[in-house]
Amino acid sequence: GAGVSQSPSNKVTEKGKDVELRCDPISGHTALYWYRQSLGQGLEFLIYFQGNSAPDKSGLPSDRFSAERTGGSVSTLTIQRTQQEDSAVYLCASSTRDGKVETQYFGPGTRLLVL
């Protein structure tokens, strides 16, 4: 594909509901990241997938957050029992590595609003 795509672009949900966010990375990119960005804030790392290795989940804020990556391609981020503080933009990035250098390509994000 031309770039990283994410869906939905916007999601409004009620507190306590579960949500699933989807990311389609650039074909051939083995690494995939999820970030969270609150209004006016920087990127908060959530989780990292690299090939078939175990994911780095060190950034997940609570056990309500989980993510999977199927077949080394599409990834879904699931937030269970959403809270108002989960409202943010969730960004996905896939990356390519040239030797030691990694460059990340970001999707447009999913804007999540928890009422």
User: Min. distance of Cβ 106 from other proteins in angstroms?
Assistant: 3
CA distances (Å), origin 4, targets 34, 56, 74: 12, 20, 10
User: Min. distance of Cβ 88 from other proteins in angstroms?
Assistant: 13
Q: Which of 8, 18, 41, 81 binds other proteins (CB under 8 A)?
A: 41
CA distances (Å), origin 3, targets 6, 24, 27, 59, 92: 10, 9, 9, 24, 11
By C-beta, is 18 or 102 nearer to other proteins? Answer: 102
Q: Which of 17, 103, 113, 115 binds other proteins (CB under 8 A)?
A: 103
Q: At a CB cut-off of 8 Å and minimum separation 6, what does 21 contact?
A: 6, 7, 8, 11, 76, 77, 78, 79, 90, 92, 110, 112
Residue 26 found at the interface with other proteins (CB under 8 A): no
User: Min. distance of Cβ 66 from other proteins in angstroms?
Assistant: 19
By C-beta, is 2 or 101 nearer to other proteins? Answer: 101
Where on the chain is the footprint of other proteins (CB under 8 A)?
Answer: 4, 33, 35, 41-43, 45, 48, 56, 91, 93, 95, 100-109
